[in-house]
Amino acid sequence: MTSRFDAGVTAPPAADLSGRTAMVTGGGSGIGRAVARALAAAGADVHVVDVDAEAAKAVAEDTGGRPHAVDLADAGALEQLPSEVDILVNNAGLQHVAPLEAFPPERFAQIQKVMVTAPFLLLRRTLPHMYAQGWGRVVNVSSVHGLRASPYKAAYVAAKHALEGLSKVTALEGAAYGVTSNCVNPGYVRTPLVEGQIADQAEAHGIPEERVVREVMLERSAIKRLIEPEEVAGLAVWLCGPHTGYLTGASLPVDGGWTAH
Ligand code: NAD
Please give the average per-residue pLDDT across 176-189, as a whole number: 98
Compute the mean pLDDT over every residue in the chain, rounded to the nearest whole number: 94
Query: Ligand 1 pocket, 89 CB below 6 A?
Result: no
**pLDDT for the residue numbered 3:** 47
- Given a cut of 60, whether residue 80 has pLDDT beyond it is yes
CA-142 nearest atom, ligand 1: 44
- Please report the sign of the dihedral spanned by the C-alpha atoms of residue 121, residue 167, residue 23, residue 67: positive
- Given a cut of 60, whether residue 51 has pLDDT beyond it is yes
Ligand 1, pocket-test mutation among 33, 94, 212, most atoms within 8 A of CB = 94
Question: In whole angstroms, what is the distance from residue 203 CA to residue 193 CA?
Answer: 16
Query: Ligand 1 pocket, 188 CB below 6 A?
Result: yes
Question: In whole angstroms, what is the distance from residue 224 CA to residue 232 CA?
Answer: 17
- Given a cut of 80, whether residue 166 has pLDDT beyond it is yes
Instruction: Name residues whose C-beta falls within 8 Å of residue 156's C-beta, 6 or more positions apart in sequence.
Output: 93, 95, 96, 111, 115, 143, 145
Query: Ligand 1 pocket, 217 CB below 6 A?
Result: no
Q: What is the number of helices (H) and of strands (E) in the chain?
A: 8, 7
β partners of residue 57: none
The beta strand positions in the chain, using DSSP E, are 21-25, 45-50, 66-69, 87-90, 136-141, 179-186, 251-254
**Percent of the chain whose predicted confidence (pLDDT) is above 70:** 95
**Domain annotation for the chain: domains and CATH numbers:** 21-186+229-256 (3.40.50.720), 191-226 (no CATH)
Angle of CA points 196, 32, 116, to nearest 5° = 85
Q: Is the pTM of this model over 0.85?
A: yes
91 CA to middle of ligand 1, Å? 6
CA-114 nearest atom, ligand 1: 18
**Percent of the chain whose predicted confidence (pLDDT) is above 90:** 86
Query: Ligand 1 pocket, 72 CB below 6 A?
Result: yes
3-state secondary structure of 110: helix
Please give the average per-residue pLDDT across 17-46, as a whole number: 98
Total residues belonging to the chain: 261
